Amino acid sequence: MIVSRSEFLLPNLGAFVMGLAWAASPSLNLIGSLVPLVLTFVVVNLSSAIGAQVNTLSDYALDSQDSRKKSLVAALNSFGQTKLKYILAGEFVIAAVLSILLVAIVGKPLLLILWLAGISLGCSYSALPFRLKSRSWLAFVSLVLVLSILPTFFIFYTFCSEVSLLFLLALAGLTLTVYGVIVPTETRDYFGDKAMGITTMTVHIGLTKASLVAIILLIVGGALNGTALFLGLFYGHYPILIIFLIAVAAAIAIVLQQFVKLYNLCKEYDNQNDKTTGQAIVDLSANNPKWIMLVTQTYSILSFVLLVSRL
């Protein structure tokens, strides 16, 4: 369903596989843990859908002025805002019940707190009165918590209670990378957000600085996650699987090349304030969903390889 932003399902898979991979050990029985596996997957993705639907409702006025989001606006008009609100309420109840059931099965009450924190931040990011997406650095903090830290740790903690340094290193790398690949989305929406008074991090610091931040985050995040994966695979059952890290380097290099192009365009726009360059920035950054998919799915594949090496 378009209003649920189903395109985020595959990126969510990255957090799921990564959390599971770092929690895995020879003592983990995946077949015996099938019910918790299904519950964590459903809770994380249902919660993500709730946040996306709240965003669709909250950004309706802004999206109505954006020609690139005609399909989203049309889908909401066709579906009906009132109907979506009722569905949201039902989804929230289902997610809450499933989270409580998961806690009852694994005996870890902290999971319920993690879910409540994630769902609250996910809704507050877009919805009034908080609308964190318009509060500069709070937007950054809420995004990295909702998209990376909380869901990954939720899944990890379901199956493992001992937090390793390598997991923290990988989580830090994923977090930096996730926000790094989100920045071009804010760049694409920069002109509309600025006109509507929505102070995202990119609006706050400007196009050039934001695009430079994206480059730095992508490089540092890739290095941290790559290091964690290297050590995790090296000390796993099949060290030869380290060769798959080439895929991470290739994905980062491909996306980084596009980020550098975007940075140069932003510098040119800041110097000349040219409308043609501004449109070129919007057009290039509109490709960001492809970049997000490339990076997140490469991480998903490597996390799956890590999972195999740890079992």
pLDDT confidence of residue 222: 95
pLDDT class of 187 with cuts at 50, 70, 90: very high
DSSP run (H or E) holding 255: helix 245-272
Using the predicted structure, report yes or no on whether residue 111 has a pLDDT greater than 80: yes
Give 110's Cβ-side CA count (13 Å radius): 12
pLDDT attached to residue 46: 92
* Angstrom distance (rounded) from CA 264 to CA 154: 38
Nearest by Cα to 121 from 59, 55, 38, 75: 55
Backbone phi, psi, residue 287, to 5° = -80, 0
Whole-prediction pTM: 0.90
How far are the Cα atoms of 2, 58, 86, 96 from residue 83, in angstroms, in the given order?
Answer: 14, 15, 5, 20
What was the pLDDT predicted at 56?
Answer: 87
Q: Are the C-beta atoms of residues 245 and 230 closer than 8 Å to each other?
A: yes
Give the DSSP letter string of 191-230. HHHHHTT-B-HHHHH-HHHHHHHHHHHHHHHHHHHHHHHH
Closest CA to 91 of 33, 60, 51, 122: 51
Percent share of the chain, pLDDT over 70: 96
